[in-house]
Amino acid sequence: MILITGAAGFIGKRLASSLEKDSLLLVDDIEKISACDGIKYKDYYDYRSFIEQLENDDDFAAFIAKNVDIILHQGACTDTTNYD
């Protein structure tokens, strides 16, 4: 499987669209899921719950570790005033 972070952003969405298949896992803000309409993918995770599940759910973390072959990290904070 391929995991794409920032999947609803400008670059992430185009990347997901070009790799479109059943084994795609998309991660981004759940409020932006509509940006991925029309793209074929296995699952879409809100980035907050995805991180929480990785940290707290051993079965989920094992599933990701076992099944994800590549992570394409496109997620970024575009707020230029954010210093954190």
| pLDDT digits 0-9 by tens, 6-41 | 888 888 888 888 987 778 999 998 888 788 788 888
Residue 4, amino acid: I
**Which helix H or strand E contains 26, and what residues bound it?**
strand 24-28
Q: Provide the pLDDT for residue 84.
A: 63
Q: Average of pLDDT values for 64-71?
A: 94
The whole-angstrom distance between residue 38's C-alpha and the CA centroid of its chain comes to 16
Question: Percentage of the chain surpassing pLDDT 70?
Answer: 94
Least confident of 53-57, 66-70, 77-81: 77-81
